[in-house]
């Protein structure tokens, strides 16, 4: 992997910029089991997220306990998510107005869900599934979906890598990963979500012509992702080899992103299509 020097200081991480009542926990809700020997008894688990304690406001708490929000919560919303039996995300919408045949987007690590819900509201004929490990984000996202009366949203608590392993091949129209943990220290780079091993699962889950869309505010990670994805067989850079994608209008700009841009920092988007 080529190392790319920093040109600009990256935007301060979202969790560092947040307050107790407004915290963005947009981490990648994933883990990955990796081992160099398939006969090894003890498989080392490499986390690509860090589950932090965050404040839960009254709306998030209400959504996790009030039955009227239960329609949005696919599995247990508190503690470690149990993904047993979740093998078909389209089936989650069988009784919804869109039905199970509508285009389907999976967002990995939606944080508090502001942009996720904004996207779902903007495309009511597309179904959206979000997966997250932080209970305050799960609750707030469900509360916003219920407050807006959305029928095209489902929320899963748990490990996105495990979920991708359980899904059929060619299952999803889009997978999006916005502002994942950059794992800045070199010894932690193995924890970054975008790696050849993890992208094999992402690509497997996408339909032909489906998209993987990611964005980051850390320059080193941006060029890391560009290098991995441009050289990954089965994916094509929509902006052309070696290029980043101008921020698309359909990805909402968060207040943290806007604050960083106003301070002269940058954000990098990448969109890849499955061949």
pLDDT tens for the chain, 275 residues: list them: 443 333 333 443 333 333 333 333 344 444 444 433 334 333 344 554 445 556 788 999 999 999 999 999 999 988 889 999 999 999 999 999 999 999 999 999 999 999 999 999 999 999 999 999 999 999 999 999 999 999 999 999 999 999 999 999 999 999 999 998 764 556 645 758 888 999 999 999 999 999 999 999 889 899 999 999 999 999 999 999 999 999 999 999 987 788 878 888 899 999 999 99
Sorted by where each starts, the structural domains of the chain and their CATH numbers stand as 14-274 (3.40.50.150)
Let me know: does 111 contact 14? Beta carbons within 8 Å: yes
Neighbouring C-beta atoms of residue 61, cutoff 10 Å: 15
pLDDT given at position 43: 36
Inter-helix orientation angle 58-65/135-147, to 10°: 80
pLDDT given at position 35: 37
Q: Which of 130, 131, 125, 155 has its CA nearest to residue 64? A: 155
Q: Is 91 helix (H, G, I), strand (E, B) or coil?
A: helix
Burial degree of 6 (CB within 10 A; 0-12, 13-18, 19+) = exposed
Let me know: does 1 contact 227? Beta carbons within 8 Å: yes
Q: Is 128 helix (H, G, I), strand (E, B) or coil?
A: strand
Burial degree of 256 (CB within 10 A; 0-12, 13-18, 19+) = buried
Catalytic residues, which ones? 181
Q: Which of 184, 238, 191, 188 has its CA nearest to residue 210? A: 238
Greatest pairwise CA separation for the chain in angstroms: 52
Neighbouring C-beta atoms of residue 275, cutoff 10 Å: 10
């Amino acid at each position: 992997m080529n190392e790319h020097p920093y040109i600009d200081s990256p935007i301060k991480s979202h969790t560092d910029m947040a307050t107790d009542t407004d915290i963005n926990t947009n981490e990648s809700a994933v883990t990955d089991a990796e081992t160099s020997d398939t006969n090894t008894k003890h498989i080392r688990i490499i986390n690509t997220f860090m589950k932090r304690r965050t404040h839960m406001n009254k709306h998030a708490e209400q959504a996790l306990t009030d039955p009227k929000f239960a329609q949005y919560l696919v599995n247990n919303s508190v503690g470690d998510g149990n993904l047993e039996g979740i093998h078909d995300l389209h089936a989650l919408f069988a009784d919804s107005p869109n039905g199970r045949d509508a285009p389907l987007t999976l967002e990995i690590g939606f944080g508090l869900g502001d942009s996720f819900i904004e996207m779902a509201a903007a495309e009511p004929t597309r179904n959206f599934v979000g997966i997250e490990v932080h209970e305050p984000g799960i609750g707030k996202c469900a509360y916003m979906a219920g407050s807006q009366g959305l029928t095209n949203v489902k929320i899963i608590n748990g490990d996105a890598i495990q979920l991708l392993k359980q899904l059929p091949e060619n299952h999803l129209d889009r997978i999006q990963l916005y502002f994942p943990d950059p794992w800045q220290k070199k010894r932690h780079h193995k924890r970054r979500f975008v790696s050849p091993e993890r992208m094999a699962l992402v690509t497997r889950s996408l339909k032909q012509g489906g998209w993987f869309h990611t964005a980051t505010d850390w320059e080193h990670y941006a060029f890391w992702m560009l290098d991995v994805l441009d050289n990954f067989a089965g994916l094509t850079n929509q902006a052309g080899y070696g290029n980043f994608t101008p921020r698309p209008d359909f990805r909402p700009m968060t207040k943290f992103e806007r604050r960083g841009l106003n301070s002269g920092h940058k954000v990098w988007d990448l969109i890849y299509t499955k061949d």
